[in-house]
Amino acid sequence: MKNTIYRMLLVGTLLLSGAGMQAQEFGLQLYSLRNQFSQDVEGSLAQIRDWGVTYIEGGGTYGYTQEEFLELLGKYGLKTAGIGASYDELRDQPEAVAEKAKAFGASYVMCAWIPHKGDAFGLKETEEAIAVFNRAGKVMEAAGLTLAYHAHGYEFRSYGEVTLFDLMAQQAEHFAFEMDIYWVFHGGADPLELLNRYPDKWVLMHLKDMAQGVKGNDSGHEDVETNVVLGTGQIDVAALVRRGAELGIRYMFIEDESSRVLEQVPQSLTFLRGL
């Protein structure tokens, strides 16, 4: 039994026991290796495989045709659980986004930024985004996909007695959310409390930790070098992974944007696999 579990861990699956908890897939957001991809695409994919990771969140092809890149993913045993799409793409050509996601074999489409000028993000931008995501979400649903918005911090600004994010969550009829635990925490919200407040709204998770001593803000911007090995920063990653598992969040992607990504990702995987 121990050997069986160990083999499953090596391919990136963490078995969590307990009522309502199921197998989680620890994957990688490909943006983590953006600098490495610019130098060696195939070598980067091989590195992901060698880390024992199977599932990725991506969508780019890094200079290859889509067909060529999909062949490379297959060569290294990588599966695309979700792809990223820009706000403009979802607003202007959601059908093309859905077609691309299906070509990758993805189940999810993720958007990680709502355009706004400078620091001016408020009710107007929020209401426009809700409309865009609900319209695009209908297209994704028709294609058997789920659209998930990834908040970046500015959504947690107050609006009366609630936040702008609360407005989004309450009016999300055809889209869900991906929780980036770093950006939720950095933006001044409590990731665990948000999981509990909207338990049926979260379908994906980005795992990254924030260095000790860093003070967050709601700008949506921070030095990427504040990304540290999971479990060594300010965020209770273990509690969030466990609660996410209880809520049925299957795919949890490590996203490490720091220059130390090659050293930190294996350590983060060791932390996750030891939970």
Cα separations in angstroms, 105 against 39, 45, 98? 26, 17, 11
Phi-psi region of 68 (alpha: psi -120 to 50; beta: other; left: phi over 0): alpha
Q: What is the pLDDT of residue 24?
A: 80
* Residue numbers of the chain with a pLDDT score lower than 50: 1-22
Which pTM does this prediction carry? 0.91
Q: Are strands 146-150 and 176-180 parallel, antiparallel or unpaired?
A: parallel
SS (H, E, C) the chain: CHHHHHHHHHCCEECCCCCCCCCEEEEEEHHHHHHHHCCCHHHHHHHHHHCCCCEEEECCCCCCCHHHHHHHHHHCCCEEEEEECCHHHHHHCHHHHHHHHHHHCCCEEEECCCCCCCCCCCHHHHHHHHHHHHHHHHHHHHCCCEEEEECCCHHHCEECCEEHHHHHHHCCCCCEEEEEHHHHHHCCCCHHHHHHHCCCCEEEEEECEECCCCCCCCCCCCCHHHEECCCCCCCCHHHHHHHHHHCCCCEEEECCCCCCHHHHHHHHHHHHHCC
Q: What is the pLDDT of residue 198?
A: 98
For residues 180-212, one letter each, b for 16 or more C-beta atoms within 10 angstroms of the residue's C-beta and e for the rest, the string is: bbbbbbbbebebbebbeebeebbbbbbbbbbbe
Q: What is the pLDDT of residue 10?
A: 37
Taking Cα atoms as reference points, which of 198, 196, 156, 160 lies closest to residue 177?
198
| Contacts of residue 210, Cβ cutoff 8 Å, sequence gap at least 6 | 182, 185, 186, 216, 226, 227, 228, 233, 234, 235
